[in-house]
Every structure is written in structure tokens, then in C-alpha cells.
Structure 1
Amino acid sequence: MSPRPQRRRATRALTAGAAALAVAAGITAAAAPAGAEGTAAASHARHGGHSGRTVDVQLLSFNDFHGNLEAPQGSSGTVEEVQPDGSRKKVEAGGVEYLANALRTARKGHPYSVTAAAGDMVGASPLLSGLFHDEPTIEAMNKLGLDVTSVGNHEFDEGRAELTRLQKGGCHPKDGCYEKGKRFKGADFPYLAANVTDEKTGRPILKPYTVWKHKGVKIGFIGVTLEGTPDVVSANGVKGLKFHDEAETIDKYARELDRQGVKSIVALIHEGGMPASTAYNYDCDSPGPGSGISGPIAEIAKKVTPKVDALVTGHTHQAYACTVPDPAGMPRTVTSAASFGKLYTDTTLTYDRRTKDIVRTTVKSATARNHVVNRTQPKAADMTALIQRWNKLAAPVANKPVGYISADIPGRGQATPETPLGDLIADAQLEATGAADKGGAQLALMNPGGIRSDLAHKASGSEGDGVVTYGEAFTVQPFTNMTNVVTLTGAQLLTALQQQVSGPNEASPKILQVSKGLAYTLDLTKSGADRVVKDSVRLDGAPLDPAKTYRVAMNEFLAGGGDGFAVLKEGKDKYVGPSDLDAFTAYLTAHSSATAPLAPPKADRITVVK
């Protein structure tokens, strides 16, 4: 299968935005995909439409790729599929070699096809991409024909300047160019950041929207990230920036596009929801439209102006293809394609040439369906070559053994609040900072979102079962946050445990992973802060004393109040230790060998009552 032709966006004309936002808008003109044949009318007739006046536009979308160029390991690399008989099956999926082939195959026979994403293309990436500040992923996205994406919170992990470099190109300001004679070109596709503005100027830091054009068809794309991005990114990453309400921002630019004559609009929103089922192909609209999805995106979808015809979402790493009525009561698709390139969504938008709008009636909206990026299909040869090229550069660092394990150590995709890998990471941070001259930590806390992968006993590399390489450890802990040790009172520590399940985390709890010696009961039959049973909290067998002070280790993200743990910002007498990755690899090296591999922790520190 030959790759989709390259389309440098520099050759595309830009539309004029509002006078005060001359940088706001961009028009992209997509070429028909390789192998596409037939006229628009003939294509639409094949799909059951009215030839001439209407055409079907294929919208392919995905989200939360996170630099997963190679097929993700463990639970991070599977999706759950409902079988015809009602049973469930785990399907291995993901990897850019397969994603590129799947998208190119899907485009065949669709002369009107546009590919969009809903943020977090980069950030929290495995070492193959993360070691090179995600240049390999941007290169891969260019090759597979991504037309546009919104920013996500992880696009801000390294700050605004680095995001701008990923868009415009140029070698890294500290690391320089990675390949002799090659300068990083940047993204062919526009990153959209409609609700992210400069604190001083009030203007969006990147384009708020872009307009895709092909043979008279015009579709506007507005891109936003979650308003709560500062709560899930380090303070340095969002310094000098403001993040605004998603729905209000989308409505603002939808009106602007409408004034320009762009009536067909898609919102790319890096905010998501929780599906009623863990299977990617469940029926989201049974028993009624949108009944199978909850969370922030469900509320946003109900508010966003009817001028917007479809919502492509992300952030929660979930899979859903739903129909949620807009404020006018008209059906509108709301989709998300899980994460790591394991799925893509194929949405059919029926475009009316006379009204220039997407056809939506009270009984029918666009059709949308998620598809598995399975690993039984052929690999895209250009992506294989890309991976091999960057792996060669990464090999001296990536292939170094740092430890040995006796079995898989799960860290993501677990049904239980506590994970074996979460305990291991917390133990590693405690050990790295426990000595009196290294912070004097008595316990450690780890945020679950910072654990990016399982540790797989049987890895995809050639180093042998049970060997943990630096590259695999990096995939688990890619942020390289510094460990901090702070002093908290017992009352503050209890508040931190309660903030796991209350306030901003009540609807979607973020259960901290805890080091050995700390134990408590989590009663899920209760609500809010009461889920943490106060009298159950013990440290080394002794009840937590509200008046006593404790030295607590955690990464700098948590110490800054990240993930809704505001009380942790109150910690005093801060000590800065090694990076979380260094602490993790040092622990693996110290506690394992080829003849005595490390066994998965029991994950029995949090007693859960259901």
C-alpha cells in the first residue's frame, strides 16, 4: 500500500480571521487520497445519497496517541471487543505502522476524506519518541496524513516555546539536531488552541481554527483543550497562559466561521467522558441517544452551539461513538477513539452544497463508528523505516538493562484502585529519599496518571523475557519529574487522601498509589471524602496522628498541587531528590537480578469496600 501523498501546509492559502485576530484562521486544501477514484456524485450515490447536491465527507479521527510509535505493551496495547454472541474478547491493537495502514486503507474510495485528532499526539511518550522531544511522532503524523489536531494538555508538558517549535520546526534549543544534516521541519498540520491565550495579549497562542477545503466543500475545525489543563500540567508548562471555557470558546469561533460563510463545523475537544461499557464497540445510544456516556464531555456536548456538527474528543482514553442532542434538540455525534493509536473513528458527514452545511435531521445525524487498529494487517513500510531509523539513534540508551522481573507488573487498565506497579514506584521514591540526608521521607505518594504503561515480562524487543531495559522504564515514567520531600501534618495527609475522591476528583477518583507501611480503607459505598475511612489510616501500624508532622515523598507535579491535590502545595521544608525515573531504575537495579527477578507487589495496602 503506497503512502498518502505528502502535503506541506506551507503551500496552502490562509483565510483572514477577525481583524483583531489576524493569525486566527487557516485554510487547508486536502488532496484526494492515493487510489481514490470517481466523482463526488458517484461516490455519494454509492453511499445512498443524492448525487449532485450532497456529497459524503469521510472524517477519520483519533486522539491521545502519546508518541506510541511502536505497538504498546501489556494492557495499554489491547482493546475489549464485544463478540456477536455477547462474549468479550481482548484484541491486540496499536502502533503507528498499523495505524497508518488502517487510515490509508480506509481512505480508499473516498475522494472527500479529512483526518483529524483531538490532542495529546505527544507528551508522556515512550523513549523512542520522548528521548527526541517527540520529533519522531510529528514526523510520523506528517507521513500518515494528519490534517489537523487540537492541542491537549500534554502538548504543554515542555511549555509554550516547545509546542511552538513542534508546530514551526527547528532543532531543539538545548539538544540541537539529532541527525547530521537534518533540521526538524515541524508539523505539516496545524495545531489548534482556540481556548489557550497569552496572559498579556489575550490572543490565542496558536490558530483557533482552520478550514479544510476540497472541490468546493468547506469544513471548519475548531480546536480546544480542557479548561482544567493547569490542574494536570506542571506550573512551568503553562506559565503565562490562560485556559478558557471549552463550550464558550467553541461558540465564539463558530460564530466567526459562520460569518465567513463556513456553515459546516467540527469541534476537536481534548476533554472526554466515561462510557457505560469498556468494550469499544458497545451501543452508546441504547436505550436512548447519548445514554451510554457521562462526564465532562456529555455536559459540553449539550451546551455547544448547534452550528457545530460533530465533536471529536479525547483526554479520558476511552472509546465511544455516541449521538448527543445539541441545544436545539438535533442529533450530533460525539466520538473518542481510546488512545495510543489502538482505534480510529470513521464518521460520515453528508455535506449539502447548496446550504454549505452538514445534513442533520431529527432522526439522523452523521454516522460514526470506531474501528480496531489490529496487528494482523500489513505494516506501513515507511513507518517501519521511520521506527528503525530512530531506534538506531536511541539504542545506546534504550537497550541498557536496568532490572529483571518475574512476571507482568500491571500499572494501567486495572479494575482495582491500587496497582502493583503503582506500589513499586511509590516504594522506589521512598527508598530514594528515605535517608536522613536525602529528605528523610517516611512515606511516598504516586499519582496514577503518571504511570504510563505496564511493565511487561515478555517485551517486544530481543533482550529476553524478564529483562527491564531503560527504554521500558522510561515508557512507565516518561516525565522525568524530580522527587520532592515535604513536611505535612497528619491532618493535611488525611485531606490529601480525601481529595482523591472529593472536589474535582469526586466524579472520577484519582487514587494515589502508596508506599509500603501506609494502609487505609476506601469505602466505595459512601460518597465524597467519606469514602476514606478516617480511623483506618495507619503508617507502620500506628494510627495517623492529625497533629503530628510527616515527611512525604512525591513527584514535583503532585507537590505543586497537580491532579486536584491542592493540599499538597502546603507542604513545607521541601527537599529535591533525584528524578522519578532515576529513582525507579535505581530501585529495579538494587532489588533484582537475572537469577533473582523482582516479583510484582501484592497491591494490598488499600482495603476496598464495595
Structure 2
Amino acid sequence: MPSPSLRRVTGAAAMTAACALAFLPGAANAAVEPETTDLRVLTINDFHGRIEANGDEVGAAVLAGAVAQFKAENPNTIFASAGDNIGASTFTSFIQDDNPTIDALVAAGLDVSAVGNHEFDQGFADLRDRVIPRYGSGEWAAGVDFALGANVYAKGTTEPALKEYVIREVDGVRVGFIGTVTSDTATLVSPAGISELDFGSQLEAANRVAAEIADETDVVVLLTHSGAATEDCAAIAGEQSEYGELIREASPEIDAIVSGHTHQLYSCDIADRPVISAHQYGTTLGSLEISVDAATHELVSIAGSTVDLATQELDENGEEIDVPQFPADPEVQAIVDAATEEADVLGQEVVGTISADILRGGNPPGDDRGVESTMGNLVADIYLWSTSPEYANYGGEPADIAVMNPGGLRDDLLYGEDGTVTYEEVAAVQPFGNTLTTTTLTGAQLEQLLEEQWQPGNERPKLHLGISDGFAYEYIEDAPAGEHVVSMTFQGEPIAAEDEFLVTTNSFVSAGGDGFTAFLEGTGTSDTGLIDLSATVDYFAAHEVVDPAPLGRAAEYVAEPTPTPTATPTATPEPTETPTASPEPTATATPEPTSEPSTPPTQKPEDEHLAPTGTDVTWALAAAAAGLVAAGALLVARRRRERA
């Protein structure tokens, strides 16, 4: 298959020739035939089981209605996903293993999908044996097009574990779709569930498959479950990450890149091709508009854009509300309604009360996993409580510290009208059903764990752990690798490298998930068998009111200001028994006293209280003065000898 630039030149030449022929005799009939075949590829990413409408999340039914309307406008339309269709879902889908989401997307006309990291949440066996067949109405072979993963290999081999690509023919045009998933997947899901898999380079896999299918396709689209950490196209083009390398160095055979994973919204042109990401949760559709020469099947043009599925309008009270821009599809709405009814009974059970909003990090909450949050610290507190004698269901050794990864927190708890919290709301915070584990870590390993929060080069360069009450540390944000943590304390006492602590976390993190490999170096790891969601529900039942956990357990280090030096005052010598020496003589020596005073003493005024003075007194005073002068001279000589 020719490169995009060559295909566009060829296509432009064909159009020029067609225009010229239109002016030639007998060319009228040829001009009736269309010059190009126009196709559209609609895309979603990171749907995460948001089948019910919620604000700008229009739900599966409106999403299906939008796809149907676009297909009505142009039947040459393909509906594709860049992964994470399921996992980290809302309660209605989560409580039913995301089966309603799969059914709704199939009914909405989804044609092809890359696999996302969340498709592996319940392990590869679940993906292979349940999820993929569900997409194919029970047939594995029919469902493989919905879990493309060209860089997913059988452990220790280069043998693909999933289907790598699919080719769809529309009105004679062959469109190839290659699927890849972030190579970080190995750290984003429970390692135990993917022990038989390796996740390789996306770039290598995408370019390898593009070369293989070049002669079989007219257009190639890469569906990558990987994305940028920003929505700024200039920054994306220069991003130093696996994704940045992928979008810059992908083969010229790849005509467009559809992205996901980071939940961003962008439509860029990078390396002479469109690169798009359609936000998250069914708020937006991505769109690729493709024109192919009808005669030669050469690519004439391809452009990317995004389409909002809801817009903000004012209601009758002047309040802004989100209004869907497309009608709901009745078939998909029926699937959603049935799923909602099934989840309602258990979901609406009140499990506890909160005193105020409990939120994830960022603004809006959940937007920034790199900062401390009240939700992260609270869940760490719940973990610690769950592995203590206070919890009747735990019979193990009491833990000292607990930590919670921010990626495991998928929703907030809002106070609402009265602070009541339902099962559904609690489940939305931790939807993965992990078990709690305990591991013994040394102080040095604890420090390593904290250092692993900084992950430069990854799509999320920092993952701030929630930590339990009693554990605290100071850190420097901008520091070299391994030098962020300044100090750590437990119950107010400094932690030494050789100190040992029993640390609780979830099974995902304890297996090295999210890159927190320090747990793999710990000792005595034990799976308690406690499900995080069940333990959380029991925590709420045991506490009349649950407060947001305080911030400040992790504090940014502030160096003590260097004091400004001041002049040192001259010390006043302490008095001694020895009289202070007289000043050293100057060039003019003090004359020795003579037997007769050189001038007569001055007569002082008489005072009736003093004895009368006379010559004898005058001479006595003169003698005393002479003695003092002599003593001073002796002291000066002595000081000189001491200095010598």
C-alpha cells in the first residue's frame, strides 16, 4: 500500500484528470460517476460501563442514537472503540459483571474495538472465556474483533494472544484496524490474572502489522489504548513517552490514530495524519472523515474531529443543564432499563453516613491522581481498620500501616441532602472487587514504595498513594529519582531503614500493580480473603458517621531559611584583680617625676568637710602618682614579654 503522501498525490492527480475529462466531448457520462467514496469512522474510548445517562455522560442509548443518525446520513460508517469499554464501571454495570455494557454496545452497532487495560481486570481467562464470547453472542470467533491487541503475546514468546487486526470493507473500500494497548498494562491490572501474558512495544507491533496488511487495505487506522496526558496538540507532538514515540514514529502506512486511556479530548494533526481522542464515558464521539478515489481506491484525504453528544443549555430557572443532542435508541434503552431494575434493589440500600463530601484529587475531583486526597487517605484508613482486631472478620496479625493506589478510586462520595451513602455509591468508589493483603516491609522498602509514586515518562508521571493515620512523610516534588522522600514517621517517631511494619493494601497493588514493586520485595505476604467493597460496607456500619480523612499526612518539605549573618558585638572584657594596663606609650614619653614638682599644685577650694591640705599632702599625692606610673610601666613591660 502506498504511503499517505503518495496516495494523496495520486488521488489529487486523479481528480485533476477527471476535471479535465469533463470538458472533453463524450466525457459527460463518465462525470456522472462519483469521483470519491466518502467514509466515516466514529470512535469512542474509555466508556467504562457508563450505560446510564448522567449529565454530559449521555448513556448507551443516546450514544447508539447518535451512531444511528450518522449511519443514516452516510451508510459508509464504521463504529470503533479504542478500549476500556468495561471495567471501572458504574454500579449498574459493575454489579452484573459488565454484561449490560457489552450487550448495549453490540446493539448500538459497535463494529470493532481495541482491548484496553481494564478488559483484563478480572484476568485474561475472564476476557478470553466470557467477555469475548459475549460480544459474539456466545461465539468466541465472532467476538475476537472486539478485543484487538497486536502487542499482547503469550508469555515468553512473540505469539499473539489476541487478534491483531481486522479489515472491514465498506462500499468497496478496505479499511484495516490495528489494535494495541499500553505496555503499562502489566502494572495496571492484577499480575496474577495476566501471568500467562507479555505486553510488548506498541510501536513495534503497530508497524509490523501495518506492513503485513499494506497490500490488503486501502486505509489503515490504529486503535491504541494509550494516550497523551494533555489536550494541547503541540505538547502532545513532543511528548516524551511510549505514546509520544508511537504517534511520531508510526509507519506511514498508518493513516490515522485513535487514542484512549488518558481520558483526554483532542483532535490533532501529527506526523501528517489525524490523532484523536474522544474524552471519556460516552460524552463525545471521535470522527474520521475519509475520502478515497472511487476508481483507484487511493486515499485522497482523511481528517479528524470530535462531536459533543450533549451541550449545555439553560433550563426554565436559568440553570445550565446538559442536553443530549441525539435521540435515544429504543432497543439499547430497553437493555439499560432492565439492567437498572436488576441493580436497584441492592444498590439503594443505605450502608452509612458521611459528614461532608469525600473527594478524590484534582479539580474536578478525580482529575489528578498525583495529589493527596481525602478519599485516598480514608480508604487507607478503612484498609487499616479491616486488618485490625476491631474488625471481627479479620483474624490475622494487626497491621501497622495501609496504603491505597489512586487509580483504584473511581468515584467520590457526596454529602447530598443528608449524608447517607448507599451500597451503589460505595461500590462506585472501588469497583474492582480486590482482596486485602498484608505484607511486612522494612523502613527502606517503605521509602522505596513512596519513591515509586514518581514515575517520569509514564502517561501519569505521579501516582499519589493514600496513607493511613499514624504514618506520615515529607517529600520534595522536584527531586532526582530516589531522592524525593526526606523523612518518614510512624506514630510521630522517625522510621529507621531496618524497622519493620505490617502493611495492608489491595491485591492489585501487592502484586506490583501501578508500578509499586516494593511490595514484591516484602516478606510474609498474606491474602486475607477480605473483599475491599465488603470491608468498606462493614466499616460504614461500624461507624455512626464517617468523616473525610484529613490531608497533610504527606507534606511537601520546606527547608529552614538560612539566617542572615549579623555583626558580632565586641565583647566587654570582664574585670580582673590585676589593674588594666595603661596604654602603651606613644612617641613622647611620660616624664619621670622629680623631687620638686615642676609647677606648684593648684589650690583646691576649701571645703569644711575635708581636712586642710598642705605641702605634706601635696607631696604624698605626687608620690602616689609616681607609683602608679611605675606600676603601669611594669605591667606594659610584662604584657610585651607575654606576647613575645
2:70–2:77 CA contact under 8 A, matched in 1: no
1:376 aligns with 2:323: yes
**Alpha-carbon distance between aligned partners in 2 of 1:469 and 1:196, rounded to the nearest angstrom:** 38
1:340 matched to which residue of 2?
A: 281
More deviation in 495-504 or 109-118?
495-504
1:390 matched to which residue of 2?
A: 339
| TM-superposed deviation, 1:425 | 0.6
2:194 matched to which residue of 1?
A: 238
1:557 matched to which residue of 2?
A: 508
1:401–1:470 CA contact under 8 A, matched in 2: yes
2:144–2:163 CA contact under 8 A, matched in 1: no
1:110 aligns with 2:74: yes
Q: 1:102 to 1:499 in 2, by over 3 A?
A: same
1:446 aligns with 2:368: no
| TM-score, normalisation: structure 1 | 0.76
1:526 aligns with 2:482: no
1:98 matched to which residue of 2?
A: 62
In our comparison, the structure showing a higher alpha carbon Rg is 2
Paired amino acid for 2:404: M
Matches within 5 A, 1:441-480: 441-458=399-416, 466-480=419-433
Paired amino acid for 1:353: A
Aligned residue among 431, 434, 443 for 1:481: 434
1:441–1:553 CA contact under 8 A, matched in 2: yes
More deviation in 548-557 or 267-276?
267-276
Paired amino acid for 2:50: N
Structure 1 stretches of 4+ moved >6 Å: 182-186
**Alpha-carbon distance between aligned partners in 1 of 2:357 and 2:71, rounded to the nearest angstrom:** 38
| TM-score, normalisation: structure 2 | 0.73
Paired amino acid for 1:603: L
2:532 matched to which residue of 1?
A: 580
1:138 matched to which residue of 2?
A: 102
Q: Which runs of 5+ in 1 are unaligned?
A: 1-40, 42-49, 78-91, 172-181, 277-283, 326-330, 459-463
| TM-superposed deviation, 1:581 | 1.1
**Alpha-carbon distance between aligned partners in 1 of 2:148 and 2:134, rounded to the nearest angstrom:** 19
Q: Secondary structure at the match of 1:258?
A: helix
| TM-superposed deviation, 1:106 | 3.8
Q: Secondary structure at the match of 2:447?
A: helix
Q: Which runs of 5+ in 2 are unaligned?
A: 1-17, 19-31, 312-321, 559-644
1:58 matched to which residue of 2?
A: 40
**Alpha-carbon distance between aligned partners in 1 of 2:551 and 2:64, rounded to the nearest angstrom:** 38
Output one character per residue of 1:130-183: Cα deviation in whole Å (capped at 9) or x when no partner.
222211111010111111000111111222332123455369xxxxxxxxxx97
**Alpha-carbon distance between aligned partners in 2 of 1:321 and 1:441, rounded to the nearest angstrom:** 48
Paired amino acid for 2:304: T
| TM-superposed deviation, 1:251 | 1.1
Q: 1:253 to 1:566 in 2, by over 3 A?
A: same
Aligned residue among 235, 254, 264 for 2:219: 264
**Alpha-carbon distance between aligned partners in 1 of 2:144 and 2:191, rounded to the nearest angstrom:** 29
Q: 1:256 to 1:494 in 2, by over 3 A?
A: same
More deviation in 204-213 or 492-501?
204-213
1:561–1:568 CA contact under 8 A, matched in 2: yes
| TM-superposed deviation, 1:94 | 4.0
Normalized per residue, the structure richer in helix is 2
1:591 aligns with 2:547: no
Percent of aligned pairs sharing the same letter: 34
Aligned residues: 504
Q: 1:539 to 1:149 in 2, by over 3 A?
A: same
2:104–2:336 CA contact under 8 A, matched in 1: no
| TM-superposed deviation, 1:293 | 5.8
Q: Secondary structure at the match of 1:322?
A: strand
| TM-superposed deviation, 1:354 | 4.1
**Alpha-carbon distance between aligned partners in 1 of 2:459 and 2:285, rounded to the nearest angstrom:** 30
**Alpha-carbon distance between aligned partners in 2 of 1:167 and 1:507, rounded to the nearest angstrom:** 28
**Alpha-carbon distance between aligned partners in 2 of 1:108 and 1:502, rounded to the nearest angstrom:** 46
2:188–2:513 CA contact under 8 A, matched in 1: yes
Q: 1:237 to 1:213 in 2, by over 3 A?
A: same
1:263–1:307 CA contact under 8 A, matched in 2: no
More deviation in 236-245 or 93-102?
93-102
Paired amino acid for 1:428: I
Aligned residue among 543, 557, 568 for 2:494: 543
Q: Secondary structure at the match of 1:581?
A: helix
**Alpha-carbon distance between aligned partners in 1 of 2:397 and 2:155, rounded to the nearest angstrom:** 36
1:142–1:189 CA contact under 8 A, matched in 2: no
2:237–2:244 CA contact under 8 A, matched in 1: no
Matches within 5 A, 1:66-105: 66-71=48-53, 92-105=56-69
Q: 1:506 to 1:244 in 2, by over 3 A?
A: closer
2:286–2:307 CA contact under 8 A, matched in 1: yes
2:388 matched to which residue of 1?
A: 434
| TM-superposed deviation, 1:184 | 9.4
| TM-superposed deviation, 1:212 | 1.3
**Alpha-carbon distance between aligned partners in 2 of 1:254 and 1:54, rounded to the nearest angstrom:** 24
2:268–2:304 CA contact under 8 A, matched in 1: no
2:240–2:457 CA contact under 8 A, matched in 1: no
Q: Secondary structure at the match of 1:391?
A: helix
RMSD over aligned Cα atoms: 2.9
